[in-house]
Amino acid sequence: MGVNVAEEISLEYLAGLVDADGCLTITKSQPSKSWRTINPTYKIVVSVSNTCLPVIEELREQFGGFVVTMKARKNSHRVCYQWILGGRLSELLLLELVNHLRIKVRQAGLLLALRSWCQPDGGYGICDNETIMMRETIYQECKRMNSGNGERY
């Protein structure tokens, strides 16, 4: 049985995928001399995992990002595909998606709160201690919610 993804994926459909098979998270990179940064860098990431490659490919084609193939761990498992969108594109998509989410609304709120603590140009340059502490607090809360420990939604 084939899958018809000829139509454009709606925000409502994407919200359902994210709520069911997706992840809203924040990645953290330590300061790097080669990048001339002195503060950790935090990035918003939206991803969806599924065994239906045509749907995952359509997400990539329509919204950007990239696709990763995860091998089946056991003979009884199927190959799984993951669509990953990070950086500025994930922030812009999340702004449109947040009102359509039903389950992962709190995670989306955290990610958008992080966005409010970046520079006006979208960067994360040199900043004061309050900004550094707020970014780390938001990162840790998102990490806790996604870990399965404590309240997730």
Highest mean pLDDT, choosing among 39-43, 93-97, 143-147: 93-97
Which of the pair, 1 or 54, is modelled with greater confidence?
54
Copy the structure tokens of residue 88: 């500025």
pTM over the 0.85 mark? no
Task: CATH number of the domain at 27, please.
Answer: 3.10.28.10
Question: Which of 122, 131, 107 is closest to 23 using CA atoms?
Answer: 107
Total length of the chain:
153
Tell me whether residue 4 is in a domain.
no
Domain extent, residue 95, equals 11-147
Class of residue 138 by CB neighbours under 10 A (exposed 0-12, middle 13-18, buried 19+): buried
Judge whether 131 lies within some domain: yes
The pLDDT assigned to 78 comes to: 85
**What are the pLDDT digits (tens) for 39-58?**
788 899 999 999 999 999 99
pLDDT confidence of residue 122:
47
Task: Please give the mean pLDDT across all residues of the chain.
Answer: 85
Determine whether 127 is exposed, middle or buried from the number of CB atoms within 10 Å of its CB (0-12, 13-18, 19+): middle
- Sequence-ordered alpha helix ranges (H) in 98-128: 105-116
Using the predicted structure, report yes or no on whether residue 153 has a pLDDT greater than 50.
Answer: yes
Structure tokens at 17: 């995928």
The number of domains in the chain is 1
